[in-house]
Structure formats: C-alpha cells, structure tokens
Amino acid sequence: MLLPRFDQRMCFSRANFIAGPSYSAPFRTHTPLRLLPRRRIARRIGLATAEFAAGSFSGPALEEDDGDLGYRLPPKEIQEIVDVPPNPSYYISPRRDRIMFLKRRAMPPLSDLAKPDKILAGIRIDPSSNTRSRMSFYTGISIHLLMDDGTLGPEKAVNGYNANAKINFVGWSPDGQHVAFTVRYEDEVDNGSNLALWIADAESGKARPLFKSADIMLNAVFELYVWVNESSLLVCTIPSSRGDPPTKPLVPFGPRIRSNEQRNIIQMRSTKEMLKDLHEEELFDYYATSQIVLVTLDGTVKMIALPAIYISLDPSPDGKYLILTSVHRPYSSIVSYKRFPKKVELWTVEGRFVREVCDLPLAEDIPVAANSVRKGKRLIRWRPDMPSTLFWVEAQDGGDANIEVSPRDIVYMEHAEPLDGEKPQVLLKLDLRCRKTYWCYGSFALVYEYWYKTRITRTWVISPDLKNHRPRLLFERSSEDAYSNPGSPVMCRTPAGTVVIARIKRNCEGSYILLKGRGATPKGSTPFLDLFDVNTGEKERIWESDKEKYYESILALISYHPKCEVQLDQLKLLVSKESRREITQYYIKIWPNKKQVQITNYPHPYPQLALLQKEIIRYQRKDGVKLTATLYLPPGYSPSEDGPLPCLIWSYPGEFKSKEAAGQVRRSPNKFARISNNFPLLWLARGFAILADPTIPIIGEGNQEGNDRYIEQLVASAEAAVNEIVRRGVAHPDKIAVGGHSYGAFMTANLLAHAPHLFCCGIARSGAYNRTLTPFGFQKEMRTLWEATDTYIKMSPFMSANKIKKPILLIHGEDDSKVTTAMQVMGCHAVW
C-alpha cells in the first residue's frame, strides 16, 4: 500500500500498533504497519502500541536504527483490499447512444512514482514523454450501445494496442463515431516513454495511430488536443526544431536579483515549485512550447499559428474559430504559470489570425483576500448555444476584494469578428464575484455570483438575446446552508459537442429545466430531481432517492435531442444506486413509469467486510453545536459481548460562519463504504473501530474570525467525539488514535499538544505545522501573519511541540509541492 504523495524514499515496515480487539476476530492477531522513511530522520517517530502509549508496553524497544528495510508488503488482509481494482469509469457519447467503460488498476507501479521529473512554474513534467508526471492511467476501453429499452448492447473492446499500454486523454468525437486517446509504453531499460495519439472506431473497436509520421511528437504538458468537428482535431505537438534540452551551466549567469522599486505589495501563499533561475526558465520554454497542428482522421496535417506555450485550445461551436490562450515572458520566480503574462488570440481553423482579445501582464500582485482575481478579462469562453459568440468577465475593483465598489464584476458578450465600431454588449452587472454561467438558449441563461466573507450566493436569470430585458434574481442563499440548496441544472450536449442546460417540455408545452441536488436533510442526504419552471419559479419534485435502504443519485441525461429539448414523458437518466452493503451499480431510469434497467453488475470488492457495520451518529459539543460522524465497526462485532475496541478517528476541520450551518448533516447512512488505499477504513480488516470524518467546525459568526478560537473549538469537537464513542462502549478510552491528511495532520498535531488526555497516539500525513512559514494565509484564513500574529502562533503545533508527549507518526513526501521536508525534520526533533 502506498499513500498518494509518497515518493521512492518512503517504505513500509512492521510495527506494533494499537492492540487488537479482545473479541475473537479473524484478523486481530496480525501485526499492523508502520511507515518509515528509509533514512534515519524519523526513526523514532512512529505509531506505538496502545500499551506503550499507556505505559504498559512490555515488548522489545524499537531499535535506534531499523536499517535499510526497503519496501514491504502489508499483511494479507490489507493487501487483499488495496489490490482490488476500482470499478471502471464511464463516459457517455455526445449523442447518448453509446457508453464507454474505462478500466483502471488498483495501485500505480513504484516505477511511476520513482521516475525523475522536472518541477517548473508550479507543474511537474515527465521529460521522457512530455506529459505531466505521475499521471494515473487506464488499462483498457470497452464500448456498448445504449439500446432504446435501456439495456446495453454487446461489448466492443477497443483493440490494436499492446496489453501493457497506459491509456490517457480519452475523448469522444462530437458525433460519437470515434474515440481519441493516447497510448504510452514504458521502456524498462532507460525509463523512457513514447506517447502517441490513437483513434478508435466506435462501431468496430479497431484502433490505430492517428499520425502517419513517427516524427510528430505530442506535447501534453498543458492541453493536448480538442475535437474541432467529427473529422478533425487540434493537437499540441513538439516543434520539429526543438533539439536537446538545455544543459545547466556549471557557473550561474549571475546572482538572482529582485527589486521592488515600485513598492508593489506581493502576497503569495507558500509553494516551492516556482522557477528558480534562468536555466529553469529555459527548461520551461523547452518542455512547454507547442506547435499546434490541425489533423484530420486520414492523417493529413496542417500547422496552425506559431509555436508558443499554449495552455488552452477552444474551438467555437460552429468549428470556424479558435481561442488560443498562451503564456509568455517575462516569467516570475514567485508565482506559477497561471499568473504569467497571458495572451488570448482569435484564429480561424484554417490558420488565419483574426485579432487579439487581450494580453494580460504578469499578475504577481493579486491580493490574498478571498474573491480577489486577476485584473482584466477573465473566464473568456464561447457561448455554447451560439455559433461563435464570446463572453467574459471583468472585475471593476481591480481584482481586489478589499475594495468596496458597485458593480464588482461585469459580464460581457461579443461576436468573434465584430463590426467596425461595435462595442461589447453588457450582459449583467454583479455586486459579488461572478462564479459561473450556465447557458440554455438565447432567452435564458443562469449566472452565479458569490462572496466568501458573507457566504452569500446568488443565481440570476438573464435573457442574453432579448433587448431591454432586466435580469431576475432566482435564488439568494448562504452557500453554507446545505438544506436550502436548490440543486444544479441537468445539462445536455449539443451536436457541436458543447454543453447547455436541457430544456424540458411537458405535453409539448412550457419552459422547464431539471434541477438535481444532493438533498441534505437532518436525517441524511436524499438526492432529488425537480422540474423547475423558469418563468414562474415553481418546482415539482419528480423523483427522489429511496430513504430507507438505498442511496441513488442522478449522474447524466441519456435522452438526446439536437436542440436539447426533451419531452418529460421521454426522459432517460443514468442513475447510480448503492446501499451500505451493496456496491454502486448503474441503471437507466426511463419515464413516464420510471422503469429502472440495471446495466452493471459489479461484484463486492471486499466480501470479507461485506457485513461491516456503518452508522451516522449525532452528538454535540459543550457549546451546543451539533456534530456528525460516521462510525464503522467490524463485521460481527457486538459492544456488549466483545467489549470496546481500539479506535482510529480520522478527520479534517472545516470553517463556518454559523452554528446552524456547522450542525447540518451532509452525508447519507445508505452509501456504500468504499475503502481506498489512503483512507483509514482499511483498519476495519484489523479489527479496529473507525470514526470517519467527525465534524470539527471552526466557527466565526458575524465579524468574528473562527481561527481566533481555533484551539478551543478543535479540542471541544474532539472531546465530544471521544466521549460519544466511549459512551457507546465501542472504543477503549486508552486506545483511541487520531489522524488526518494535510490540514487534518495539522489538526492531529494540535490535538496531541493540547488534548493529550484524549488520544494515545496520532498519524499526521503531509501536514504543515508552523504557520509563521505560511505568512500570507492558509486554508480559509485570509489575514496575514502581521495582521493576526497571535492567532498564527497559537494555532501552530510547532510552537507547542514541547507539549507533545504521545507518539506521533509524521508521514511526508520529500517532493511535497507546498511543505518542505525540513519542516517535518524540525517537528521530529522538537518532540523528541
């Protein structure tokens, strides 16, 4: 078992953990795992047994030097779980007449994690294949027809490539007749890779390389390809003149000098993956520069535009124009490529330059305040319901959320080639920050705005093609209020391959849309589907998930119409269905009688835990805030007969503006217990009780900042959780461990420092423990170190490391993009 961010220097070793349960379980006698670096920097920081933590450990002491143990396999009962491949992913064709299943493997090979990469401008590049490094991949593709009665036609396995191929970048053609994907093979000798673009016929499954010449190499550092129409694609390739990568000079060009004579305020959250010197700038140019080519299905190639660092390719819905977005010099050593100077140009598909939409300067000075954005045009897109009309958003506050101004954002619209003197059309003026836009047709679109500080979110109805039509406020609510969430519109694909809101007709009349939502309630989530009248605002619930046993969810619209108009009595939907003990299966639900046809029959992935016990529990902390957690218990366990178990609590704090929102239930008791390789449910196979995701709300009501009372609220939430599981008799009070990832690791270290009476030990994975090293904010904290010095210091477990007396396992990858390993080493020494 490997955790997601481990590199080749992390390994498994055997260690005693918390003692197994006292009842007779088939897995309680095995020795669990400990993760240790191969070097000695953390040789004494690990999970100890509960007996050791309680002062009664009688076994042999840990050796001062465990030696070079290498990688170890976990115990059999753990291995049997993590080696189970996940269910295939699905991908429905644009015309909704086929469904593709993409097979995956359980774990990435160590060779993938160990491959050297280049870390440049905030991204990691695999130089052997000119892709992002450590990509997951598919191992196979199969295609089925979706029959009119909801059943699947015979499987067509895509074939033609070798069995050991790694498949990525899978995409349907707009007409659903072809599938594009990349294939790469690993060279076991020199660790090289060959990335090639393939095309498969959806009818036969037969696949072939798209390019006739092997000299055309792909560049997948940013966007690799897009379909322009049913017979041609835009592809980013490596310029034929690229040559060998630049070598690093033995003697640097000179010292790195940075001045701020203009006295610009630059506040960036911490990261260590930025460009460091001129050589890295040259490497970024080398690996990221692409030559765009237009290639047809018969392999004919035509170059489009000049080589540049293209980060986005966006053809217009009518296939005539292209939005080409690129970044260029001058680069920065303190921000990622996302804030480099950005140029947006319009070209025709034939390769004619039309105009420059904008050329944005380097954006190092975006304030850290939430809802701050880049100056100038942003979110530049094609209207998906029009042939070639652009829309975008511009901030009226200079992108600074600290400035009070009205309006704050303006949404504009413009034709690809406007007439002389024609100005962009103002679609909507917003007082909050524009978040997203859903288009339906010329007289209807939804625009969402949001403001983090107040948590207010609004949804507006606009009529972009009707003159003198005033915007109408549809919804206004708190983004934290899960109970009032009206849901999001069900979308439909157009013949051009774009996505718009599906229009629903009832008896060939009316203007309706479908809203699907999770349906959070005090008794648990119950997903729903509402028929919503966009003119009157009235809605009717036409479907709701089963509440007693199953958790069902609307995944996608299967009904197809070229104008995205669907009759309600002809509605077809892809639905998932699961229960506590039944793995997720897919169904086609067909109106008007809501007939349900099962299209998958996946076996239970871990039958040895098929009878595990799951319960959503409710309790409250001492200030009255209601809390929620999911309690998992091993199969066959009975508190009255078997006594309390060792328990692992795994959580992640969340920020809220109100006690009411913090106390809402956002989970379902009927969901299947998926056991991933990096989640603590694995320990059910070792006889542990697991308290998963107990809510740890950090609340700051009104003008209060939640983090000013972080430790107090953190300890109160943990205390309430521990008291509840001890009261239930399922957890031994001396054998409770706490753990978490990232901000959950930060939580873990703080709890061992400030509430050592609650836990016998902790697991802290990929955390940052000294907030003075993240001076420009972290998580939802928008104040800087100098604005909230006392809060930064009090929240940092590093400042209280001398109080940590219980064993703690610090797990960290050496190549973490945000937190240096040095911080973990300091943490290790601080608690010794």
Instruction: Please say if the pLDDT value at position 787 is more than 70.
Output: yes
**Residue 536, φ and ψ in degrees, nearest 5:** -100, -20
Name the band, by pLDDT with cuts 50, 70 and 90, for residue 13: very low
Residue 115: predicted pLDDT? 87
Per-residue pLDDT tens digits for 709-744: 999 999 999 999 999 999 999 999 999 999 999 999
Instruction: Please say if the pLDDT value at position 59 is more than 50.
Output: no
Give the dihedral of Cα atoms 726, 732, 733, 735; nearest 10 deg.
-140
Instruction: Please say if the pLDDT value at position 44 is more than 50.
Output: no
In this structure, the strands spanning 89-92 and 33-37 are unpaired
Beta bridge partners of 89: 102
Residue 508: predicted pLDDT? 75
Per-residue pLDDT tens digits for 257-284: 777 777 677 777 766 789 999 999 999 9
Instruction: Please say if the pLDDT value at position 15 is more than 90.
Output: no
- Please report the sign of the dihedral spanned by the C-alpha atoms of residue 792, residue 794, residue 800, residue 805: negative
Give the max Cα distance, the chain.
87
3-class secondary structure for 121-159?
A: CCEEEECCCCEECCCCCEEEEEEEEECCCCCECCCEECE
Q: Strands of 377-382's sheet, edge to edge?
A: 377-382, 389-395, 409-415, 425-430
CA gap 809, 36 in Å, rounded = 9
Q: What is the pTM of this model?
A: 0.89
Question: Considering only CA atoms, which of 620, 630, 543, 614 is closest in space to residue 581?
Answer: 614
CA gap 152, 138 in Å, rounded = 22
Residue 372: predicted pLDDT? 96
Distance of CA 133 to the CA centre of its chain: 17
Question: Considering only CA atoms, which of 738, 743, 749, 830 is closest in space to residue 797?
Answer: 749
**Residue 314, φ and ψ in degrees, nearest 5:** -140, 100
Contact 281, 253 (CB under 8 A): no
CA gap 714, 695 in Å, rounded = 10
Residue 214: predicted pLDDT? 87
Q: Which two tokens stand for residue 624?
A: 């009255």
CA dist 713 → 28, 388, 531, 657, 706 (Å): 35, 53, 41, 13, 9
Residue 628: predicted pLDDT? 98
CA gap 784, 655 in Å, rounded = 17
Tell me how long the chain is: 832
Q: What is the Cβ-side half-sphere exposure of residue 257, based on CA atoms within 13 angstroms?
A: 5
DSSP string, 592-642: TTTEEEE---PPPS-GGGTT-EEEEEEEE-TTS-EEEEEEEE-TT--HHHH
CA gap 597, 601 in Å, rounded = 11
SS3 (DSSP) at 68: coil
Per-residue pLDDT tens digits for 279-336: 999 999 999 999 999 999 999 999 999 999 999 999 999 999 999 999 999 999 999 9
CA dist 52 → 44, 59, 342, 677, 759 (Å): 13, 9, 57, 27, 13
Q: Which amino acid is at 87?
A: N
CA gap 831, 809 in Å, rounded = 11
Regarding predicted confidence, which is higher, 633 or 110? 633
CA gap 441, 327 in Å, rounded = 33
Contact 477, 490 (CB under 8 A): no
Which positions ≥6 away from 261 have C-beta within 8 Å?
A: none
Omega within 30 of 0 (cis) for the link into 605: no
Contact 362, 341 (CB under 8 A): yes
Residue 143: predicted pLDDT? 98
Question: Radius of gyration over alpha carbons of the chain, in Å?
Answer: 28
Query: Angle at Cα 554 formed by Cα 553 and Cα 556, nearest 5°?
Result: 145
Beta bridge partners of 781: 778
SS3 (DSSP) at 486: coil
Instruction: Please say if the pLDDT value at position 27 is more than 70.
Output: no
Residue 63: predicted pLDDT? 41
Domains and CATH numbers, the chain: 86-247+270-354 (no CATH), 607-831 (3.40.50.1820)
CA gap 424, 408 in Å, rounded = 18
Per-residue pLDDT tens digits for 741-762: 999 999 999 999 999 999 999 9
Residue 270: predicted pLDDT? 65
Distance of CA 756 to the CA centre of its chain: 33
Contact 327, 341 (CB under 8 A): yes
Question: Considering only CA atoms, which of 121, 116, 125 is closest in space to residue 287?
Answer: 125
The 8-class DSSP code of residue 53 comes to: H
In the numeric block, the tokens 């993760």 are attached to 35
Question: Considering only CA atoms, which of 809, 757, 732, 747 is closest in space to residue 19?
Answer: 732
Distance of CA 262 to the CA centre of its chain: 38
Per-residue pLDDT tens digits for 429-442: 999 999 999 999 88
CA gap 795, 307 in Å, rounded = 48
Give the dihedral of Cα atoms 53, 59, 62, 68; nearest 10 deg.
-130
Question: Considering only CA atoms, which of 356, 389, 388, 362 is closest in space to residue 375?
Answer: 362
Per-residue pLDDT tens digits for 184-208: 987 643 444 589 999 999 999 999 9
Residue 10: predicted pLDDT? 29
Instruction: Please say if the pLDDT value at position 16 is more than 50.
Output: no
Instruction: Please say if the pLDDT value at position 126 is more than 90.
Output: yes
Please compute the mean of the pLDDT values over residues 552-576 and round it to a whole number: 96
Which long-range contacts does 509-512 make (Cβ < 8 Å, 24+ apart)? 511/444, 511/535, 512/568
Average pLDDT score, the chain: 88
Query: Angle at Cα 82 formed by Cα 76 and Cα 87, nearest 5°?
Result: 140
CA gap 357, 346 in Å, rounded = 7
CA gap 2, 111 in Å, rounded = 13
Residue 35: predicted pLDDT? 30
In the numeric block, the tokens 């993240």 are attached to 774
Please compute the mean of the pLDDT values over residues 369-376 and round it to a whole number: 95
- Please report the sign of the dihedral spanned by the C-alpha atoms of residue 526, residue 531, residue 534, residue 538: negative
Q: Which amino acid is at 172?
A: W
Question: Considering only CA atoms, which of 226, 393, 230, 237 is closest in space to residue 315?
Answer: 226
SS3 (DSSP) at 483: helix
In the numeric block, the tokens 């897009």 are attached to 226
DSSP string, 346-389: EEETTS-EEEEEEEEPP-----SSTT---SSEEEEEE-TTSSSE
CA gap 291, 218 in Å, rounded = 9
Contact 99, 129 (CB under 8 A): no
Residue 521: predicted pLDDT? 96
Residue 51: predicted pLDDT? 33
Q: Which two tokens stand for residue 418?
A: 């406007």
CA gap 15, 31 in Å, rounded = 7
Residue 68: predicted pLDDT? 57
